[in-house]
Structure 1
Amino acid sequence: MRADNPDLVTVVGIGAGGDLSRTALAALQSSEITFGSDRQLALLPGSVPGERIAWPSPLLPALPGLIDAHRGRAVCVLASGDPMFHGIGATLVRLLGADRVRVLPHPSSASLAAARMGWPLAEVDVISLVTSPLEVLRRCLNPGRRLLVLSRDGATPARVAALLVEAGFGSARLTVLGQLGGPAESRVSETAASWVRSTADPLNVIAVECADGPATSIVPGLPDEAYETDGQLTKREVRAVTIALLAPTPGALLWDVGGGSGSIGIEWMRSHPSCRAVTVESSPSRAVTIRTNAANLGVPGLRVIEGRAPAALAGLPTPDVVFIGGGLTVDGVLDAALDALPTGGRLVANAVTVESEAAIAAAHAELGGSLTRLTVSRGSPVGGFTGWRTMMPVTIWSVTK
């Protein structure tokens, strides 16, 4: 295989105890250079003769230069478990291309954890906190759910326990599995509320059984009470229709112009883990609120830009979809949003004032698309009876470029 591709990099999965498949061991024994962490390199048997190079810290900025410096030589890279499961294998494929990377996987830590717990892996949510903020867990919390959490370090279990308690899941059971597959494998189990250990084995996976706690819908239209707000909030019913018209697809990027409390960008990102969003908000206090809401609802990766459109839109990554919830009457906002969209991209705009409705009507007359008008009435007490209180009507324009 190397004769056809002298620049091939072989990524070898290794277990916590140093166990290797026959194919992996053969690849290492024929390598001239082996990269890995100090811990991984120390696990290699003496029959691996090549030069051993420990990764620098930080690794990612140095990685391209390290690999390039050894082009034409037999290079192996060590990875814990499955290199393509939140591992360096995926990073190297992105960097070098799939044709330059050969992957020899070991069972992943998630596979080993599911086996130890007796959980069908296909029915479990797996979350990595190695590169993601702790708050991403909140998106997966619901009564009865099972989660496998890949820890960043030994302090992660205590942080997870504290978040579960704060989120109303104090009865959730945490099982911390350390050194999976190695001779020092360990297991500790407690409820989140009773967790008192500040540290654990640094190489651990946390199995979480959510048990009882507050249920959170997985479809758009979360209750208004789920958000902190100063009143600038797209109401639940309108939000559900708006998200449906925005039509999130995996990996798509949304611009939310005039973020308010952040609900549109947040529920866009909650629709799929790979959905991305940038919210533009001119009020600093509302920008703080958006970040708080995003963290509380499990999408801390929502990017918040403080500034006024259209100037604040300059330099942002190309969107797949744009939502305008504020600023329709500001010169240049609508034109800038439409110009930024690629062919086939969608724009959705909500109007509640006569002036913004006029802007939508003019744009619809010129560019087409669809118009929807929503009037929502909610039941509320009228003395000892119940009557209808009607909210301001909302006009929604949707167009594909």
Structure 2
Amino acid sequence: MLLFDSISPLTHSGKLTSPVLLSSLSQRPLRCAVLGAGFAGLSVAWHLLKQSPLDMHLHIDLYDEVGIGGGASGVSGGLLHPYSPKVKLLWKGAQCWKECLKLLSIAEQAVSSEELDSETGQFGHDFGGFVVRRRGILRPATNMKTLNALNDNAQSCLASCKIEIIDKDAAQKLVPHLHVPFNLAFYMPEAVNVNSQRYIEALFLACQNLVKELSASGFGGKKLCLLKKSVCELRELEGEYDAVVICLGAKADLLPELAGRLPLRTCRGVILHLQLPDNMGEDYPDHGPSILSDAWLAVQGNHSLYVGSTWEWKSRNSSPNVSSDEASNALQELLPKASAVYPGIMGWTFAGARAGLRAMPPLTPHGSLPLLGCANNLLSENLKCKYWLLGGLGSRGLFYHGWLGKLTAEAVISCNEQIIPSELTSWKNKR
């Protein structure tokens, strides 16, 4: 079977036709709904537009009740590197790292072109500040376990994101007064800090630009529409679309058709925004990397950084708003951890807090892997629409979203789940 059930995939000879021929035979555009406008949803939308045949008429509706980056993705700390907390390369680390860097570059190019357009008075987006901050990420060895992991794994790192073992003096040249108790630190100069909200907005802009470019080249059959509305039940969409891709994170379990049927664990995380008052304390060095430790520090500039995050398991609170009590508890939990490696943070002041509800995947022999695949077998046997799930990206959504969004788009276009690695679809066999 190719593409969508609503269009016959067979020629008169009984052989499979190509997606291009299917598109020419169709009297209407193929319609796809993507639920969720975070990392996963935007990656799927981009790759659907990019990988579908040029002359295929494809209309994509992107649903999100808040808008672009309104969920957990938009409040992510944005520290991007291909290694686990144990300093080991994550599953499919090279592929995920490569595809994520591609999307970051695409988003930055979209912002750059928008800034050029502003000279003609056509500036339509506010992209103040950075999308990607390239200063590397530093992790001091704070205990013997981390120290041993640093030494054991530094030789097996990716060439495109190398690991350097540096001593206390070298670490303090990067971040003055950094506490390095075991005299060694783990430094990834190619790792980056992403401004998650600006990145998602920029990737959406890239999708819009791609539609315009294709139309200007004579391929005007691609459309992308953002719908700021929630989908309470999947059956609302039945008959409207040929394929629905569910990228709702923790909210996927709120759909009545999927409630209690996904092996996801929810976890709410609070992130603190701290600022250094003018003329008080020492500026964070402009060349200084972000820091990983028991609490991470995502540096935004000389006077601004984020500290995170807390872990409240089994929470159902998906609001990004943080109460004064919740913020106070987060400060009490995170500041001692952060000051243990960067004592200077005690001179910074609280500027706000935000939170997100993460959908954490089940543990597997390969680690905590996201959930992918066709979800029709979870719903009903008599569905005209193809439903697909991309969920459970957990705290590594930024790292996984590029490659998994590409895989999902390929599976949707070809209507072939077999192209997805079995490690990502095995959850359906273990429900």
Provide TM-score, normalisation by structure 2. 0.23
Structure richer in helix, relative to its length: 2
Answer with 1 or 2: which has the greater Rg: 1
Provide TM-score, normalisation by structure 1. Answer: 0.24
Higher relative CO (CA 8 A, sep ≥ 6), structure 1 or 2? 2
